[in-house]
Amino acid sequence: MACALLSVFTTLGIVVALLQPTIEFFSSVGVGEFFTGQVWAPLFASAKFGVLPLVTATLVVTGVALAVCVPLGLGAAIYLSEYASRRARRILKPVLEVLAGIPTVVYGFFALTFVTPLLRDIWPFARPPDIFNALSAGLVMGVMILPTMASLAEDAMRAVPDSLRHGALALGSSRLQVSIRVVFPAAVSGIVAACVLAVSRAIGETMVVLIAAGGTPNLTLDPARTMQTMTAFIAAAGFGDQPTGSVGYKTIFAVGATLFVATFAINAISIRLVRRFRQAYE
């Protein structure tokens, strides 16, 4: 009992740890300035606390990552659940598990030293991507989330009872039709939950963006540019050893609180959806 309660205390601890410095932060920096200001320069002498550049950067990277992992993850999930032979599954699943188990620093390294130079070589437009750019971070992050996405969506599709498939096949549907028109709609809430979880992982991912997307706050929607996400700011500022109680130290918590609230809300939605879909066929 006490051990289980520890989890609740962890949550409370996170909330309290975030809340107190956050409140202090907002008492010295206005809420309006924080959420609408367009310049983020908290550690400069003339500090500016507009969180927008960090938020847009997070959104851009997340968008790129989702553009990679949602279609690929769903495709892989449909293949594994509807088409793959038993042997193919036995080989492919562990490969995806290994992919999911690789530390995020490694993906960051890969993005910076392999994907970025590659992008700069094949870039078709006039202005090549920056050395640090959101695009390569997002692409690599998409590949990183792919296995999680695929295995969650696959679970959802395998939970659809075989009788539905048999019925459709008996009526003369092809496997393509069974996958798209029968299994997919039946599993849709689980699939949406998988997507939502992918979003929250992309928002919360730190090392890849810290290494590959750069450390300069930049209010732009162009993924080929350098930008700093919320997580990258937290890591960079925390690494820089801010003295306790300074405004710089408190910004870590304010940005962290923003991040925590966003991901916690997203996760809650996802868990809700999973619950609903679990009840469907029992």
In Å, how far are 46, 54, 87, 189 from 161, measured between CA atoms? 62, 44, 22, 15
The interface mask with another protein, positions 188-217, x = CB under 8 A, is ---------x--xx-xxxxx--xx------
Between 60 and 150, CB nearer to another protein: 150
Of 73, 129, 190, 223, the residue at the interface with another protein (CB under 8 A) is 73
> Contacting another protein (CB under 8 A), which of 44, 83, 123, 281?
83
Query: Considering the rule CB under 8 A, would residue 280 count as an interface residue with another protein?
Result: no
Q: Of 39 and 271, which CB lies nearer to another protein in the complex structure?
A: 271
Secondary structure (3-state) at 113:
helix
How many C-beta atoms surround the C-beta of residue 110 within 10 A? 19
Among 60, 260, 273, 277, binds another protein (CB under 8 A): 260
* Residue whose tokens read 């996958």: 179
Give me the helices (H) in 37-181, please. 52-78, 86-101, 104-110, 116-122, 134-158, 162-170, 175-177
Q: Is 279 in the site for another protein (CB under 8 A)?
A: no
CA-closest candidate to residue 146, choices 78, 65, 79: 65
Q: Which of residues 127-156 bind another protein (CB under 8 A)?
A: 143, 146-147, 150
Per CB under 8 A, the list member of 109, 164, 192, 224 interacting with another protein is: 109
Nearest-angstrom CA–CA distance, 248 and 244: 9
Which residues in the 13-72 window bind another protein by CB under 8 A? Answer: 13-14, 16-18, 21, 71-72
> What is each CA distance from 65 to 33, 60, 84, 109, 149, in whole angstroms?
29, 9, 26, 17, 12
Nearer to another protein, 36 or 275 (CB): 275
Task: Give Rg (Cα) of the chain.
Answer: 22
Candidates 66, 74, 137, 191; binder of another protein (CB under 8 A) is: 74
Q: Which of 61, 186, 195, 235 binds another protein (CB under 8 A)?
A: 235
# of chain residues touching another protein (CB under 8 A): 81
Cβ proximity to another protein: between 144 and 186 the closer is 144
Q: What backbone torsions phi and psi does residue 2 show, to the nearest 5 degrees?
A: -60, -40
CB of 57 to another protein, least distance (A): 15
Which token pair is 116?
């970025």
